[in-house]
Structure 1
Amino acid sequence: MVQPADRQAALGRSSRGRAGRRVPVVAAAHPRAVVPSLRRRPAGGIVVRVLLVGDYPPPYGGIAVHLQHLTRTLPQEGIACRVLNIGPNRRVPNPEYEAVRGPAEFLRRLIQYGRAGYLLHLFTNGENRKSWMLALLVGLAGRIMRTPTVVTITSGGAPGYLGSAGSWIRFIARWAIVLPAAVVCRTEAIADAMRRWRPGDLSVIPAFSPTRLRPAERPPQDVVAFASAHGPLLVSVAILRSEYDLPTLLQAFRDLRKQHPAAGLVIVGGGQDEARVRELIELWQLGDAVLLTGWVTHETCLAIIRESDVFVRTTLYDGDASSVREALALGVPVVASRTAFRPTGPILFTPGDPDGLHAALVETLAVGGARRRASLAAPPASDEPLVALYRSLSPVSARVPAGRRGGARLSRKAS
């Protein structure tokens, strides 16, 4: 375990983490246009074109980070893509995505891209009515335009939502699952909830890919200063709302400071419950021991995770959380709530149990070095299954000569 006095020098290292821990060294990612020139010609001289539909940064939530990652990696596989941003920042102009301002415009864009020969791929959480309405619209647009569609359900809360939903929502969800050419789920538990309507061909594909591990060279200066004054350092990445269960995290952290008075907690993220989180920090007198960073870029988030002694995930339910896999891949011990799915590596505790979380943190810190080495064996995932799916579904109208630059641009004249 690294103590505060040792932390400042360790934070300046780029090829080794604190306490000499080796971590992957990957060049920092640079922003890239959504329709870059292809780096190489795909086999057969074709270009596959995909419209990615979902949230796009900022803020840097799970779906948004995944879509941004795909815009940087798919062109390297001969797959040109555009983004239709339906996230909270969709009204902010940005050359990296197309904006959409309402249901009518959303459907019109889907039809335009379908006519241009794009495969339509929606990423959605599946845990509310709006999510399933969007999935239904994508499936209908694909059938109308005779272009393949893919729907990815990301949230571990989707099975519970469907289990308690009324008959009308289940009717919408059923057709939203039946209509697309392919349905992707983040975990088997999510897929099991969909198999009543689509028993045969559901795909389970995690969002994490090793190519996403592009941490910034250093954390932000406020995090560096905070880390140099605290040890051990805990990090959690969360949207500040109820299902991320920050009260359990803060209560367990308060108790941990009885054994580790210099411990610090960095919470990366933002959300609607920030005021409540700050109230709890003040109530439990944790003001000097907790740092709320707000939203940061994915590269910065990885740099913060890399410098932690323990990564903590306290969600009440979850899909296949990429932040957990990222922490494991960076060699950081993980303590996580026991949800429907977790990869190999974390120490688990019962969701909503601060005493169980406290015990897991004490155990992890006691065996931190051994746990860190063991965590490196966590099974990886990659973009290959999704790339293969796109190629298998690519419509004939999307197959254009690879030498035609700009073939990914939307055109009303496209066949």
Structure 2
Amino acid sequence: MRLALVGNWPRPYGGVAVHVAALARAARARGVDVRVLDIGRGDHSGDGVRPARGALRYAAALGGAAAEGRLLHVHTSGANVKSWLVALAASRARRGAAPLGVLTLHSGSAPAWLRGGPARRALAAAACAGFGRILAVNDEIAAALGASGVPRARIAVVPPYSPALLEPRRPPPGLAAFRTSHVPLLAAALPPGRIYGADLLLPAFRALRARHPRAGLVAFGEGTEALTGDAVLGLGELDHPAALAVLEAADVFARPTRADGDAVTVREALALGRAVVASTVGHRPAGCLLFPPGDAAALAARLEDAVAGAPPAARPRDDDPFDAIFAVYRVLWTRARGAPAEAAAPAR
């Protein structure tokens, strides 16, 4: 099987980039010939990764992958016109007897964007028509696609998580000393943008610290190095092993987002046995302490609940969602060659 993954590649280390990198590792481990077309800001090249940012380079990279008969798997947000044009171009790139591709939509903002007008829904339906399977990371995205005219039978809900994401940890400088002097310790991924809820978490943390003077907060993500204070450690952007080390060191992981798909960091924190406080947006796995999005007071109360409670047991999944993805690949690859195709693994 020959595969081309289209999406962001770390660095930066966003959820989509981490997912694509883990999926590429899993493909190689399964003996799949995989290439990555990096359409993200990193603009990486080498080791099976080809830079594909910008219309001309993307067209050239798509053409090269299509000429090799690769199965294209596009990872995008679905939350803006550019995202859907990326998907539309890939859906039209297939040549001859090459297999139909796969499209995964990751952003919790996609449903609201699709509700923005019939032209948006028509663009989404046109892009989806050229793929063999559409994967949504939560039920809300799947429902929005169905309302846009994408046949529900062609949509599957598959989480973007896999146990393969829990690679060996590598603590960043300063974490161990900060952990020793701060109890309880909170962690949060706070990239730029109001959607991630830094404006909610910081006052909620101050309220928590009024009751727990030794409490600390470790924040990571682009721009967090600017966060200051004797109880806040801003680490900036971290590679994935370092981010996992932060999750593992913390007592509580906070996810105060105003929109979400199915946050990889939430699932990672739960798998590492950490308490998770998260807003009620997107899909939240069982075991999270939830609060209404945008409510800093409710967030503060839930943080207090998390600190007061016993740490949860680790919650490893009984299944690996990557198995469902590779089952989809096998069906499409086999079908393109005219052989009977096995049934794809069921969705979540």
**TM-score calculated relative to the size of structure 1:** 0.76
| Unaligned residue ranges in structure 1 (runs of 5+) | 1-47, 400-415
Aligned: 1:203 with 2:145:
no
Tell me how far 1:183 sits from its aligned partner. Answer: 0.7
Q: Which amino acid aligns with 1:292?
A: G
8 A Cα contact 1:123 1:153, kept in partner: yes
For residues 62 and 316 of structure 2, the distance between their equivalents in structure 1, rounded to whole angstroms, comes to: 41
- The match for 2:199 among 222, 226, 247 is 247
| Partner deviation per Cα, 1:226-258 (whole Å, 9 max, x = no partner) | 212211100012322111011100010011111
The answer for the alignment partner of 2:31 in structure 1 is 78
8 A Cα contact 1:328 1:378, kept in partner: no
Q: Which amino acid aligns with 1:120?
A: L
8 A Cα contact 1:115 1:145, kept in partner: no
The answer for the alignment partner of 1:108 in structure 2 is 60
8 A Cα contact 2:74 2:102, kept in partner: yes
Task: Calculate the aligned-residue CA RMSD, in Å.
Answer: 2.1
The answer for the alignment partner of 1:175 in structure 2 is 126
| Partner deviation per Cα, 1:154-193 (whole Å, 9 max, x = no partner) | 01110011112x4433321120122211111101111011
| Partner deviation per Cα, 1:350-371 (whole Å, 9 max, x = no partner) | 11111101100111111133xx
Aligned: 1:56 with 2:9:
yes
The answer for the alignment partner of 1:18 in structure 2 is none
* Secondary structure, aligned partner of 2:141: helix
8 A Cα contact 2:70 2:98, kept in partner: no
Aligned: 1:313 with 2:290:
no
What fraction of aligned residue pairs are identical, expressed as a percent? 38
Aligned: 1:122 with 2:64:
no
Aligned: 1:163 with 2:102:
no
Spell out the pairing of 1:159-308 with structure 2 (5 A cutoff).
159-164=111-116, 166-196=117-147, 197-198=149-150, 199-216=152-169, 218-270=170-222, 278=226, 287-308=229-250
For residues 380 and 260 of structure 1, the distance between their equivalents in structure 2, rounded to whole angstroms, comes to: 38
8 A Cα contact 2:100 2:336, kept in partner: no
For residues 62 and 81 of structure 1, the distance between their equivalents in structure 2, rounded to whole angstroms, comes to: 20
The answer for the alignment partner of 1:345 in structure 2 is 287
Q: Which amino acid aligns with 1:384?
A: D
Indicate the structure whose relative CO is greater, using CA pairs within 8 Å and at least 6 residues apart: 1
8 A Cα contact 2:132 2:154, kept in partner: no
For residues 289 and 315 of structure 1, the distance between their equivalents in structure 2, rounded to whole angstroms, comes to: 22
8 A Cα contact 1:118 1:398, kept in partner: no
**TM-score calculated relative to the size of structure 2:** 0.90
The answer for the alignment partner of 2:342 in structure 1 is none
For residues 131 and 151 of structure 1, the distance between their equivalents in structure 2, rounded to whole angstroms, comes to: 11
* Secondary structure, aligned partner of 1:258: helix
8 A Cα contact 1:230 1:264, kept in partner: yes
Tell me how far 1:395 sits from its aligned partner. Answer: 6.0
* Secondary structure, aligned partner of 1:183: strand
For residues 376 and 147 of structure 1, the distance between their equivalents in structure 2, rounded to whole angstroms, comes to: 36
8 A Cα contact 1:142 1:180, kept in partner: no
Q: 1:144 to 1:112 in 2, by over 3 A?
A: same
* Secondary structure, aligned partner of 1:327: helix
8 A Cα contact 2:72 2:100, kept in partner: yes
Tell me how far 1:146 sits from its aligned partner. Answer: 5.0
| Partner deviation per Cα, 1:237-281 (whole Å, 9 max, x = no partner) | 23221110111000100111110111110111115xx69xx5xx5
For residues 75 and 378 of structure 1, the distance between their equivalents in structure 2, rounded to whole angstroms, comes to: 22
Q: 1:101 to 1:146 in 2, by over 3 A?
A: same
8 A Cα contact 1:124 1:153, kept in partner: yes
Aligned residues: 336
